[in-house]
Structure 1
Amino acid sequence: NATESTVSLRSLSADLSLGPAANATQFVGDWDEGERRTVAFEVTASNRTERRSYPFQTSVSYTDTGNQRTQDGPYTIGVQPLREQAFTLGNATSNLSVGDEGTTSTTVVNEGPQPIRNAVVRLTTSNQDITVQQEEIAIGTLEAGETANVSFPVEVSDNAQPGTQQFSFVVEYDNQAGNPRESDTLDAQIEIEPEEDPFSVGQRALQLQDENASGNETEDDPLTPGGTKTVTVPITNNRDVTLRNIEAQAFTDDPLSLANDQAFISELGPGETANITFEVSASGDARLGTYPLSLDFQYETPDGDTRLSDTYDVPVRVEEAEGGILSSLGGEDGGVPIWLLILIVLLVAAVLGYLLYRQRESDEPEAGAAATGGSMSSFEPTRAADSGATTGSSRPADPSDSSGSTED
């Protein structure tokens, strides 16, 4: 039997080393005759290493039964390195858009040949307008051939450009010997969508309610000059996250004015809609037409950031009451002012009056001529009586006239 046995290994290639040196020795101790022992050495391969057999020399030193120090070998053996530990990425997806927060997700595959321990996946990007809010995701132990899904929260600034951006994933892990290792960089192309408005403002769903209808408010009643309406505006959250403390600020210009210019929504979930209302008045001299009711929103994101939206314009129409004469004259677009319509009516009335006056003046001479002709005819029977006719005479008979009466 051998005692105080040691096994030595020496690399004959510069591409393979045993720790910091080219050789190493392991202590075995007592070694019975015919007994088989396995001795492990940690060998480091350089980046130049190929998948082929590399030469090593091994020898055994021990103390024999005669208490003599003896060495067997060296023996030359061949060692072929395993292929490099490899990882691949599955399909990388995201819901990122300019000026918004989102997530980037992918699947990490341990292609082997060895299992890994205490693994984490790290995400980086060189784009200064993109911030990875959590750079490392732990995946623990991953056997050869196994996969792990990872998802990273990412914020894209308002200054970022839409389009394809490169993201880099790295797997950090411990190998079988417990030594820390790092994978090659795994690059993925992620699409950044153009900036999306956080809200949709439902212009088509505007409800104009008549405050002067004694409770019979209808959506079809118009906002008339000098009138007031309640404008109801539906607001929809376009984001995939809940937005909170939404403060709406309204603005108008002449001829519109607001009784209240603020509204508040405590929170709005993804795709959720809420209604806000504003009291809108039109001045008495307002021209018929469509005017903007402008809105912007200050709101909080899930991470507590306060943001201000762009300005949205909601159309508010000022028109005559349904069925009005001036409304029909004014046309669909309300482009003709009321004062001009009134002036036209007055001018038409003046022209008609003048024409009637002239017609009467021309009719008076004709009427006088007709009256004169009638008087001359009435005196003709009198002249006939003077000539001896009995018809039409008004003179009394002369008693001294006895012509023909005594002879009878």
Structure 2
Amino acid sequence: MTNTGEQTVTNAVVLFEASNPNVSPLEPEVAIGSLEPGASAEFAFDIEVSDAAEAGPRQFTLRVQYRDPEGTQRTGDPIDAPAAVAEERDEFAVSVVNGSLEAGGGGTLTLEVTNNRETAVREVSAKLFLDAPLSSSDDEGYIDELAPGETKEVTFDLSMAGSAIVGKKYPASVDFRYETSEGDTLISDTYRVPVRAIAASGGGFPLGLIGVVALVVVGLVGAVYVRRNR
């Protein structure tokens, strides 16, 4: 905002006006203080856009309220402020770095997490949600901070039951609790990632199958013992 007049103005406040119910400022006014002739000041509004809004150009109105050198409060003429509503996008982008586990075994699930927001986030706590045949004794991860566009990894310990079908992909879900640069604590949408079951290395049997074989062997030994004592 630039003072194009010939007098210093004081207590200048920029007012945001919007008639669209799907677009609203978190605070409708921003104070910029005093401006001498020719002086400029930057300001910004945090705008909340509802899910019902459609992407595309918008026209908003700004007004400047101020006091002249005599102390009289005045309001300037309306100023057109064109802006655009972008397509909806997730707060984060999540991709799998390491997502294969041996059936009947355990390992790690490593995810890459990218901050899609235009501002930094911090205290990012990841929570993993699983269904059989997947399980975990360590289903939480943590990232201290993510700048806009920055990517970091988060890792979880996973187990894959022996009943898993080799070659099949099983879904895992993760969401994020995080703090914005304004100090607000939010919870993201839930993201689904695939975890693939692979054959045990070395041609071994899955753990579930080993348990069945062991029971059969014990049964045979018992049968032999009974026959010998008849």
Matched, 1:115 2:7: yes
2:34 to 118, 129, 140: 140
Q: 1:277 aligns with which of 155, 166, 186?
A: 155
Q: Distance in 1 between matches of 2:202 and 2:181?
A: 51
1:237 to 80, 90, 115: 115
State the partner residue of 2:82: 189
Give the unaligned 5+ runs of structure 1. Answer: 1-106, 209-221, 325-337, 339-408
Instruction: State the TM-score, normalized to the length of structure 1.
Output: 0.44
Deviation for aligned residue 1:290? 1.2
Distance in 2 separating the partners of 1:229 and 1:307: 30
Q: Using the alignment, how far apart are the partners of 2:8 and 2:117 within structure 1?
A: 38
Q: Distance in 2 between matches of 1:176 and 1:235?
A: 54
* Paired position in structure 1 for 2:73: 180
Letter in 1 for 2:46: V
* CA distance in structure 2 between the partners assigned to 1:316 and 1:180 by the alignment: 64
The equivalent of 1:223 in structure 2 is 101
What is the alpha-carbon distance in structure 2 between the residues aligned to residue 232 and residue 169 of structure 1? 47
Instruction: Give the length in aligned residue pairs.
Output: 202
- 1:312-352 Cα offsets, whole Å, 9 max, x none, are 1222111224786xxxxxxxxxxxxx9xxxxxxxxxxxxxx
For 1:154, the equivalent position in structure 2 comes to 46
Amino acid at match of 1:253: D
1:268 to 146, 156, 161: 146
Deviation per CA, 1:240-267: give whole Å up to 9, x if none: 3221222211112222222222222233
Larger Rg: 1
Gaps of 5+ in 2: 204-208, 210-230
Q: Structure 1: how far apart are the matches of 2:165 and 2:66?
A: 73
- TM-score of the superposed pair, with normalisation by structure 2: 0.74
CA deviations 1:131-159 (Å, max 9, x no partner) are 2426123252342xx36243223131443
Secondary structure (helix, strand or coil) at the match of 2:87 reads coil
Please give the alpha-carbon distance, in whole angstroms, between the structure 1 residues aligned to 2:21 and 2:42.
22
* Native 8 Å contact 1:239 1:271 kept in 2: yes
Deviation at residue 229 of structure 1 after TM alignment = 1.3
Between the two structures, name the one with larger relative contact order (CA 8 Å, sep ≥ 6).
2
Partner in structure 2 of residue 252 of structure 1: 130
1:306 counterpart (180, 185, 204): 185
Q: Distance in 1 between matches of 2:173 and 2:114?
A: 16
User: 1:160: Cα distance to partner?
Assistant: 5.0
The code of the aligned residue for 2:176 comes to F
The SS at the match of 2:43 is: strand
| Identity, % of aligned positions | 37
Moved more, 187-196 or 166-175: 166-175
Q: Using the alignment, how far apart are the partners of 2:112 and 2:69 within structure 1?
A: 60
RMSD after superposition: 2.9
What is the distance in 1 between the residues matched to 2:121 and 2:115? 8
The AA in structure 2 aligned to 1:238 is: N
Question: Match for residue 131 of structure 1?
Answer: 25
1:171 Cα offset (Å):
2.1
1:304 positional shift: 2.5
